[in-house]
Amino acid sequence: MNTVSSDNIYNNFMPLSPVVVNVSNSKKWVIQFSPSYIVRIIWSHFVDFSLSDPAFSDLAITWNSTPESIIENSKILAWKTEVRTVMRVLTQTANPVQNYKVWTSPSPCYEFDHDSITFTIDGVAAIIPNDWVKQSQFQFRTSQNDLDVTSHNSVRFVFTTEYTQIYIYAALVCKHLEFPTDQDMKDWKVV
């Protein structure tokens, strides 16, 4: 039986040359968002923020509310690139245009891609036709084709539409109640 003497530190540790790391924030990454939205009569709207590059730590995105409206505070988690929040109108007598100026960036490494975000309140309710949903609007993703789906027995549906998503509710079911078993999904036997 071979034994290694623990008397010599080099048996347990290998010295490395010094590593020097320089962090430069001369080129800032970008917090992206749409600069203008139309808010329908429902008085609220989703607001999406995304990063040009993932952050190493959480980024809190906060806004000053007004007596007439508010953008809910949100946080982009470390190593993620997007977050969704909601803008809400707080009174029926709100001005038809709500404008928020961007203030301090949540990190010295990031800057906003626009100086402000504007919401135009339009009193028109959405009229969604009964036959508007098309198969081409859905994408079906699994862990084989989407890195965000980390479990082999999970699926992700991506739905794209011209209608404001706050109006849309859905329930997804399998045809004829032929639900696949967990094992079928793990074994990729789902058609």
Instruction: Give 142 or 29, the one with higher predicted confidence.
Output: 29
113 CB-near residues (< 8 Å, 6+ apart): 30, 31, 32, 33
- How far apart CA 109 and CA 115 sit, in angstroms, is 17
Neighbours of 40 (CB within 10 A): 17
Whole-number Cα distances in Å, 172 to 138, 154, 169, 175, 180? 12, 14, 10, 10, 14
Contact predicate 137/162, CB 8 Å = no
**Considering Cα of 182, then 188, then 189, then 191, what sign does the dihedral take?**
positive
Give the residue ranges of DSSP H helices in the chain: 182-186
- How far apart CA 129 and CA 185 sit, in angstroms, is 34
Contact predicate 141/155, CB 8 Å = yes
Report pLDDT digits (tens) over 64-119: 888 889 999 999 999 999 999 999 888 878 888 999 988 788 888 899 999 899 99
Pick the range with the lowest mean pLDDT from 41-45, 86-90, 110-114, 122-126: 122-126
Q: Average pLDDT, stretch 150-169?
A: 71
**Considering Cα of 122, then 124, then 125, then 127, what sign does the dihedral take?**
negative
Domains and CATH numbers, the chain: 29-121 (2.60.40.1510), 135-186 (no CATH)
List the beta bridge partners of residue 112: 31
Which amino acid makes up residue 10?
Y
Contact predicate 76/84, CB 8 Å = no
Q: Average pLDDT, stretch 131-147?
A: 80
Q: How confident is the model at residue 30, as a pLDDT?
A: 92
- How far apart CA 189 and CA 1 sit, in angstroms, is 50
Q: Which of 37, 63, 32 is nearest to 50 (CA)?
A: 32
Strand bridging mode 138-141 / 156-159: antiparallel
Q: Average pLDDT, stretch 143-167?
A: 75
Question: pLDDT band at residue 10, thresholds of 50, 70 and 90?
Answer: low
Neighbours of 72 (CB within 10 A): 15
